[in-house]
A and B are shown apart, each in its own frame.
Chain A
Amino acid sequence: MIDKKIVLHFPRSLVNEPIVYKLIEDFNLSFNILKAQILPDREGLMVMELHGTREDYNRGLAYLKNSAVDIQLLSKDIKRDEDKCTHCGVCVATCPTDALRVKKDTREIIFDSDKCIACELCIDSCPTKAMALHF
């Protein structure tokens, strides 16, 4: 079984298709939607965590690709601008997954993008706007 976070970009033509429904129905994948922005006749965007067997996951992803959905692995989506970050640590209290945490000895703020679920709570809390979403 695998868990993977992916970002889907839907072209305008696909926005009205039940793409995600098919992932459950045809490929036995369960999912958790982390972020979604889908508007009629516009490009759509969805950040989701997929869970299933490796075989089903690969088949599901192949189906998405064949449907002209652009897929991107999530890990790099929230980025920290190292020049802007002052290591104050106000973000640490907002982070639900410990992706942002304090290094015990030096009190440097560590950003572990593997743990990041792109919830964006840190973006607003950051005084220097060092945290930003990239697609």
Chain B
Amino acid sequence: MAKTIEEINEKIKSAKAVVVTAEEMVDIVKKEGPGKASVKVDVVTTGTFSPMCSSGAFLNIKLPNPKMKMQKVFLNDIEVFAGLAAVDLYVGATSMRRDDPLNRMHPGKFLYGGGHLLEDLVAGREIELRASAYGTDCYPAKEMKKTITLDDINEAIMCNPRNACQNYNCAVNTSDKAIYTYMGKLNADLGNANYCSAGQLSPLLNDPEYRTIGVGTRIFLGGATGYVTFNGTQHAPGKKRNKLGIPTAPAGTIMVTGDLKEMSDKWIKGVSFTGYGASLMVGIGIPIPVIDEKIAATCGASDEDITCPIVDYSSDYPNSTGKTLGEVTYKELRSGKIKINGKEVITGSLSSYYRAAEIAGILKNRIEKEEFKLGIPQKLLPRK
């Protein structure tokens, strides 16, 4: 019997909703089947905590007196985008300080970037602001230098154009020298295999055909409550899918928004990838309303049922050949070793499963305490 999100919200209000994490749902569906599970369970909570480069925040700085139309702005020596109204800025997670040596001494360390700046803001640490302008009749000030914290900023709105990617590659290197990528250092001759997905806990893998997630879906974002505001950039729903409709390669993505002032530096963490650059780890959790048997079946899918492609980042990835070295399940990846071309290869994860499970648990708790109601999507993510 199908349920609507409104009906599930009524159950949450009267404390009758049954909420489980995606991990718990695997066992329930295994034991009772998707039909019974869809009657018993109302909401499945998911989670992911992973580097997500397409992240950033809009900041509105308090206007100085006399007023200033900021043209070039540096925060902790990172140039931020100021091509908006007088004091509106955008900080992107991968921007670097102007004096960073980048990859001139290869491999560069990229120790402080936009992601670290966002973490510092969220943690309430002091930030040095330097701004310059050409001056106008209505905005005469031309120079400004000030130490600020998040409290001195009017609005700080996280707006990430591409997060929570549905599935991802397992990255390897078949060349004879180590390479440095956004998937970490990949050692020569299949020295290691790095992967990056929460697998069975990952939000979009639990609702693989976007039957409940869309514009207006309320989510856990960086510790606060946020929203899915659109499909993400490079949203690619047309990828090959398995029997359950789960894509076997990177597919859907979401754009998300939330108030940076409500977030926690536990869930917003600046990261550095040697030889590649800086980024931001973002904690996201999405509650999946169990509207019918079909969604119960996908929420019940385990790491055994989800596969990803093994991609050679020394040649096939940079040259977009589309070739893969095979497919592997997340269960195999999490065992610590996989076999590629007959060779045993050690695996490393970039996405924190431990923290993803924590997010799913927090979200479950918030829903049970009626602190969190399900958002009703106004437009589902595109399926084509």
CB atoms of B352 and A88 under 8 A apart: yes
Tally of contact residues, B, Cβ under 8 A: 30
| Shortest Cβ distance from B123 into A: residue | A83
When the two chains form their complex, are residues A90 and B194 in contact, meaning their CB atoms are under 8 A apart? Answer: yes
Taking CB atoms, residues of chain B closer than 8 Å to A107 are: 334, 353-354, 357
Which B28-56 residues have C-beta < 8 A from chain A?
49-51
Pick from A87, A90, A91, A129: contact of B355, CB below 8 A.
A87
Indicate if the CB atoms of A124 and B274 lie closer than 8 Å.
yes
* Contact between chains at A93 and B194 (CB < 8 Å): yes
Chain B residues, Cβ within 8 Å of A129:
111, 272
In this complex, the member of A90, A106, A109 whose beta carbon has the largest number of chain B beta carbons within 10 angstroms is A90
Considering only residues 190-225 of chain B, those with a C-beta below 8 Å from chain A are: 192-194
Interchain CB contact under 8 A, A88 and B350 = yes
Chain A 58-105 interface residues, beta-carbon cutoff 8 Å to B? 84, 86-94, 102
Pair B281/A127 contact, Cβ less than 8 Å: yes
A92 touches B354 (CB 8 A): no
A93 nearest CB across to chain B (Å): 3
Q: How far is the CA of A59 from the CA of B156 in the complex (A)?
A: 63
- A-chain residues with CB within 8 Å of residue B346 when the two chains form the complex: 93
State the CA gap A103–B341 with chains docked (Å): 28
User: Which residues 249-298 in B have Cβ within 8 Å of A in the complex?
Assistant: 269-274, 279, 281
Q: Is A26 engaged at the interface, CB distance under 8 Å to the other chain?
A: no
Q: Chain A: which residue is nearest B336 at the CB level?
A: A102
The reply on B167 being an interface residue by CB < 8 A is: no
| B162 interface residue (CB < 8 Å to A) | no
Residues of B within 8 A of A124 (CB): 185, 274
A108 to B336, CA, bound (A): 14
Q: Is B174 an interface residue (CB 8 A)?
A: no
How many Å lie between the Cα of A129 and that of B271 in the bound state? 8
Q: A113 in the interface, Cβ–Cβ < 8 Å? A: no
Complex: A86 Cα to B50 Cα, angstroms? 9
How long is the Cα–Cα vector from A84 to B270 in the complex, in angstroms? 10
Please state if B350 and A90 are interface contacts (CB–CB under 8 Å): yes
* C-alpha spacing A106/B272, complex, angstroms: 25
With a CB–CB cut-off of 8 A, which chain A residues contact B281?
Answer: 86, 88, 127-128
Check A108 against B348 for contact (C-beta < 8 Å).
no
CA distance A106 to B21 in the complex (A): 14
Question: Are B352 and A89 within 8 A (Cβ)?
Answer: yes
The verdict on A92 contacting B269 (CB below 8 Å), with A86-B49, A108-B354, A125-B185 known, is: no
Q: Of B279, B347, B355, which one neighbours A86 at CB under 8 angstroms?
A: B355
**Which B residues lie within 8 Å of A88 (CB)?**
49-50, 281, 349-352
Bound Cα distance A51, B176 (Å): 36
CB nearest to B109 among chain A residues: A124
Q: In angstroms, how far is the closest chain A Cβ from the Cβ of B164?
A: 16
- A23-B273 Cα distance, complex, nearest whole Å: 41
Q: Any chain A CB within 8 A of the CB of B92?
A: no
Which among B279, B334, B348 is the interface contact of A90 at CB below 8 angstroms? Answer: B348
Look across to chain B and name the residue whose beta carbon is closest to the beta carbon of A90.
Answer: B348
Interface membership of B114, Cβ < 8 A: no
Which residues of A are found within 8 Å of B270, using beta-carbon distances?
128
B354–A106 touching, CB < 8 Å? yes
Nearest opposing residue in chain A for B278, CB measure = A127
Q: Which residues of A contact B194 (CB under 8 A)?
A: 90, 93
Q: Is B237 an interface residue (CB 8 A)?
A: no
A106 — nearest CB in chain B belongs to which residue? B354
B184 interface residue per 8 A CB criterion: yes
CA distance A85 to B166 in the complex (A): 24
Q: Nearest chain A CB to B24's CB is how many angstroms away?
A: 13
Interchain CB contact under 8 A, A89 and B348: yes
Minimum C-beta distance from A131 to chain B (A): 12
Check B271 against A92 for contact (C-beta < 8 Å): no
A92 to chain B, nearest CB (A): 6
Q: How far is the CA of A102 from the CA of B347 in the complex (A)?
A: 11
* Nearest chain A CB to B101 CB, angstrom units: 16
A124 to B281, CA, bound (A): 17
Q: Is the CB of A106 within 8 A of B355?
A: no
Contact residues in B for A109 (Cβ distance below 8 Å): 354
| B contact residues around A94 at 8 Å (CB) | 185, 192, 348
Task: List residues of chain B with CB under 8 Å of any chain A CB.
Answer: 49-51, 111, 184-185, 192-194, 269-274, 279, 281, 334, 336, 346-355, 357
Sample of 12 more A-B contacts, CB < 8 Å, known A89-B353, A91-B348, A106-B354: A87-B352, A92-B336, A93-B192, A93-B193, A94-B192, A107-B354, A124-B185, A125-B184, A125-B348, A127-B51, A127-B184, A128-B281
Which 9 residue pairs of A and B lie closest in terms of their CB atoms, listed nearest first?
A93-B348, A127-B271, A87-B354, A89-B349, A107-B353, A88-B352, A90-B348, A93-B346, A93-B192
